[in-house]
Amino acid sequence: MRFSSTTLVFASALLAACSSGSGAVDSAYARKLVGHWSSAGNDNLYFGEADTASKTGSYILVHPDGKAFTHRYKVESVTARERTIKTNLLFAGGDQREQTFVLSEDGKSIETTTVITGIETHSALTRADDKTAP
């Protein structure tokens, strides 16, 4: 299975459910993350709402060739004043990666940071619409 940094980026996007430092879900902030996002490489990411209790939600990555991959994400922490969401992307094969998302003030874009085997990668996503599935 092919994973791109975009996949990682949005997995977290996850964005759907965010928690404050106290562990409570910030529903208003979480709604900003739910939806359809796209990358410069034409990957499309769809984030669904996260469950309030487990703080996990689904995301679907669709590559430009049309191949779709369904995974999950878990919101680990949210710092709303910094517009930062830290997640773990939970891949279908059992692997996971930490992904950090920083939302723009207008909520129309996200800067992502992923660390894979000690190498930090960055990417950007642009909000496409409110769809949570292709």
Q: How many CB atoms lie within 10 A of CB 67?
A: 10
Report d(CA 41, CA 104) in Å as an integer: 20
Tokens of 2: 């092919």
- Give the model's pLDDT for residue 26: 58
Report d(CA 7, CA 13) in Å as an integer: 10
Q: What are the pLDDT digits (tens) for 63-103?
A: 999 999 999 999 888 888 889 888 888 998 899 999 998 99
What's the burial of 69, exposed, middle or buried (CB within 10 Å: 0-12/13-18/19+)? middle
- Give the model's pLDDT for residue 48: 94
Domain boundaries, the chain: 5-129
What's the burial of 4, exposed, middle or buried (CB within 10 Å: 0-12/13-18/19+)? middle
Strand partners, 44: 38, 62
Tokens 């874009």 belong to residue: 109
- Give the model's pLDDT for residue 104: 95
The per-residue b/e assignment along 110-133, b for 16 or more CB within 10 angstroms, e otherwise, is bbbbbeeeeeeeebbbebeeeebe
- Of the candidate CATH numbers 3.90.820, 1.10.287, 2.40.160, 2.40.128, the domain formed by 5-129 belongs to 2.40.128
Tokens of 47: 């984030």
Asked whether the whole model's pTM tops 0.85, one would answer no
